[in-house]
């Protein structure tokens, strides 16, 4: 802290040791700690999943950062092809028969973050963002392997398709209609990811083949 307690006290609503004794703080914490939380409370604004994978962090990162891995571990993204030479790819989302999905991957090998910037129907406004982060399980769980953190944020376009005229048909269900099922759906895919990576790591099969499809 580089400001005085007086300056800090001007900011309303802070819960700090100096202005809130321990019993009062624990009372507040107790009010936030519930036996059960509703789906909306936990997965309404953000949908985060976490999971342990018995595979080294760098390999999990490389796998997630490879565009074509989605064709393996996702339920329905298939047949990705480059649109141009900027990294933008287009494939099909089999969740909805004739829907095109556009994806660009923005990854940081030092931080092991991998972000999928994606959208249905068009590739100029990639608003559907899948935020992944791979963490060394040795540091956070004292065991070999990786922890994968995966967050989607409830972007307003989930509520309303910004480009309805680009849908392949007027009755195609919008991706945002599935927001309520994102936790369950992403859990299937996280379990796919775990199964594929642990199988290959255990069998000594290359995790990420790299390059184009055969």
Query: Residue 77 Cβ, how far from a second copy at the closest point, in Å?
Result: 9
Answer yes or no whether residue 122 interacts with a second copy by CB under 8 A.
no
Answer yes or no whether residue 214 interacts with a second copy by CB under 8 A.
yes
Stretch touching a second copy by CB under 8 A, among 55-63, 67-75, 81-89, 168-176: 67-75
Answer yes or no whether residue 141 interacts with a second copy by CB under 8 A.
yes
Query: Residue 164 Cβ, how far from a second copy at the closest point, in Å?
Result: 17
Kindly list the strands in the beta sheet with 99-108, ordered across the sheet, starting from the edge strand earlier in the chain: 46-53, 146-153, 128-136, 113-120, 99-108, 89-93, 77-82
Answer yes or no whether residue 71 interacts with a second copy by CB under 8 A.
yes
Treating both helix axes as pointing N-terminal to C-terminal, what angle do 182-203 and 57-65 enclose, rounded to 10 degrees?
Answer: 120
Which residues within the stretch 101-120 sit at the binding site for a second copy (CB under 8 A)?
Answer: 108, 110-111, 113, 117
Answer yes or no whether residue 90 interacts with a second copy by CB under 8 A.
no
Which residues within the stretch 162-201 sit at the binding site for a second copy (CB under 8 A)?
Answer: 180-181, 183-185, 187-189, 191-192, 195-196, 199
Give the span between the Cα atoms of 96 and 167, in whole angstroms.
Answer: 11
Q: Which residue has the tokens 């994102």?
A: 182
Q: Which residues pair with 113 in a beta bridge?
A: 108, 133
Q: Which of 139, 165, 170, 171 binds a second copy (CB under 8 A)?
A: 139
Which residues within the stretch 5-64 sit at the binding site for a second copy (CB under 8 A)?
Answer: 8, 10-17, 20, 22, 25-26, 28-39, 42, 45-46, 48, 50
- Contacts from 107-115 at CB under 8 Å and sequence distance 24+? 107/61, 107/64, 107/65, 109/61, 109/65, 112/57, 112/58, 112/61, 114/61, 114/64, 114/65
């Amino acid at each position: 802290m580089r400001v005085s307690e007086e300056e800090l006290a001007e900011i309303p609503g802070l819960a700090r040791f100096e202005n809130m004794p321990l019993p009062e703080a624990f009372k507040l914490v107790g009010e936030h700690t519930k036996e059960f939380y509703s789906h909306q409370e936990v997965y309404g604004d953000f949908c985060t999943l976490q999971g342990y994978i018995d595979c080294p962090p760098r390999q999990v990162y490389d796998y997630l950062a490879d565009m074509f891995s989605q064709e393996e571990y996702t339920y329905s993204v298939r047949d990705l092809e480059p649109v141009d030479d900027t990294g933008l790819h287009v494939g099909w989302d089999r969740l909805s028969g004739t829907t095109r999905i556009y994806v660009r991957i923005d990854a940081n090998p030092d931080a092991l973050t991998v972000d999928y910037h994606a959208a249905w129907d068009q590739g100029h406004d990639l608003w559907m963002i899948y935020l992944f982060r791979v963490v060394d399980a040795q540091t956070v769980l004292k065991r070999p392997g990786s922890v994968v953190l995966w967050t989607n944020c409830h972007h307003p376009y989930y509520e309303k398709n910004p480009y309805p005229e680009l849908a392949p048909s007027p009755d195609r269900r919008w991706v945002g209609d599935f927001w309520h099922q994102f936790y369950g759906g992403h859990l299937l895919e996280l379990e796919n990811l775990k199964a594929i990576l642990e199988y290959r790591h255990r069998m000594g099969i290359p995790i990420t083949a790299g390059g184009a499809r055969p």
